[in-house]
Structure 1
Amino acid sequence: MLEVQQLAVNYRGVCGLDSVSFQVSPGQLVGIIGPNGAGKSTLLKALLGLVPASGGVVHYCTCPLHQQLERVAYIPQRSQIDWDYPITVWNVVMMARTRQSGWFRTPGRAAKEIVKAALERVEIPNLCDRRIGELSGGQQQRVFLARALAQQADLFLFDEPFTGVDKKTEAIMLEVFEELRSQGKILLLSTHEWGQSLNQLDRLLLLNQCLIADGSPQQVMTPENLRQAYGAPLGNPLHQDLETSFFC
């Protein structure tokens, strides 16, 4: 189980997260939603120690998560990746196996088979010799999904995975998420996506610095919760648009 207790982040006196607490059991797919600047990406980074927490603890299987990062696969937002870096698709995915094989050792047969299987699962084995900067947005996202699969992690963190991808890539990603969930993995993903796709998630965390609501999509996406998160009073056109995009 992933246990987050009173997690807080401050940037030079500005609150990024305020005492956020939740638990996630194996086999759950949890979405993190909220307005821009709500702390969604900050939450994922704070879980991993990529931004310093000013308070709180993060445990996985009763031990501090930062002591077992080899069990975590993290896919950042596409805007945070240097797509001009001269590296091939194959080598990006193979990076997931370096912890096991070592940085200066030639990958063995087992590692190559794992990478090959991951590329095949996301339907891009034909792109293994291409540089990542030559790919479309959807193809690039599939490369990093393949890398996460090749890592064979237990906890998967995805930051805005659906941004800038095509419908086929989105469908592949949702299929993979379901497979990982059925294997007892824990998946956390931040998203701006609304509509019926949210119903495919087990839970939602509605965030705006603090945790406003935690529960099933139907429990979380209520008019009052949306008003608290997005600051739009009841009857405001913005609020109506948010409701319509989910409930219609």
Structure 2
Amino acid sequence: MDNITIKNLNKRYKDKLVFNDFSTKVLKGKKNFLIGVSGSGKTTLIRILLGLEDYQGDINIETGSKFSVVFQEDRLLENLSIYDNLDLVNPGKYDRETIKDELFSIGLENLIDKKVRELSGGMKRRVSILRALLVDSDIYVLDEPFKELDADSYRLCVEYFKQKMNGKTVIMTSHNKDEVLELSENNIIISKLEYER
């Protein structure tokens, strides 16, 4: 997969101009962070790249690229177990012991058969992250993936992310300056809230 190039992107919602001739590059094999204040268009850009929003301009993404996504909402199947949610996106790829090992990395190994509806918000978030990172994809898109995590869960998930996403193409948003400074390999400025490297 090549770099993703965005040229002269324009996007408007009725009276609100979100992007006006915006151009940038998403680097292949790097953790690319979208930087900007709330409402600056980070999530809109993600939705455009995923093909969920119309736009004007040129976006060059290699045809057939596979995306794996952590949305701001968890989007898990509440009536299924953690294991079944993970198996659904990787049918038959991982056995139970492998899934348990992966769950151990994020502190949920004893809950493999628990229904998602019985989990706390933070637990659901961790399952959502794990589900996305276990999929073999070309591009990983994470929209504020670590929000709502307590300090211990946050650290577990960040370390898991670093291990799994080394050398992968990642597009990610965050409002956490320390997170950006620790993880980002390429900052894409959407608005002027710049984090100095």
Give the 3 Å change call, closer, same or farther, for CA 115–188 of structure 1 in structure 2.
same
Is 1:72 matched with 2:67?
Answer: yes
SS in 1 for 2:190: strand
Question: 1:94 deviation in Å?
Answer: 1.4
Amino acid of the residue matched to residue 34 of structure 1?
Answer: G
**2:133·2:164 contact (CA, 8 Å) conserved in 1?**
no
- In 2, Cα distance between the equivalents of 1:143 and 1:51? 26
Is 1:2 matched with 2:3?
Answer: yes
Query: 1:131 — aligned with what?
Result: 115
Query: 2:196 — aligned with what?
Result: 218
**1:32·1:205 contact (CA, 8 Å) conserved in 2?**
yes
Residue 19 (structure 1) aligned to one of 18, 21, 27? 21
Residue 199 (structure 1) aligned to one of 167, 181, 184? 181
**1:94·1:111 contact (CA, 8 Å) conserved in 2?**
yes
Question: 1:147 deviation in Å?
Answer: 0.7
Gaps of 5+ in 1: 98-106, 220-248
- In 2, Cα distance between the equivalents of 1:13 and 1:87? 42
- In 2, Cα distance between the equivalents of 1:50 and 1:33? 21
Query: 1:243 — aligned with what?
Result: none
In terms of Rg, which structure is larger?
A: 1
- In 2, Cα distance between the equivalents of 1:178 and 1:26? 16
Query: 1:93 — aligned with what?
Result: 86
Report the structure, 1 or 2, having the larger helix content. 1
Question: 1:164 deviation in Å?
Answer: 1.0
**2:37·2:193 contact (CA, 8 Å) conserved in 1?**
no
* Aligned Cα root-mean-square deviation (Å): 2.5
SS in 2 for 1:173: helix
Percent identity between the two aligned chains: 24
Gaps of 5+ in 2: none
- In 2, Cα distance between the equivalents of 1:8 and 1:145? 30
Query: 2:150 — aligned with what?
Result: 166
Query: 2:39 — aligned with what?
Result: 37
Question: 1:82 deviation in Å?
Answer: 6.9
Give the 3 Å change call, closer, same or farther, for CA 12–89 of structure 1 in structure 2.
same
Give the 3 Å change call, closer, same or farther, for CA 57–91 of structure 1 in structure 2.
same
**2:80·2:115 contact (CA, 8 Å) conserved in 1?**
yes
Is 1:189 matched with 2:172?
Answer: yes
Give the 3 Å change call, closer, same or farther, for CA 23–176 of structure 1 in structure 2.
farther
Write out per-residue CA displacement over residues 23-80 of structure 1, whole angstroms, 9 at most, x where no aligned residue: 2334422222212211111111111101122322131xxx24xx32xx21100003x6
- In 2, Cα distance between the equivalents of 1:136 and 1:168? 15
**2:32·2:185 contact (CA, 8 Å) conserved in 1?**
yes
- In 1, Cα distance between the equivalents of 2:16 and 2:190? 16
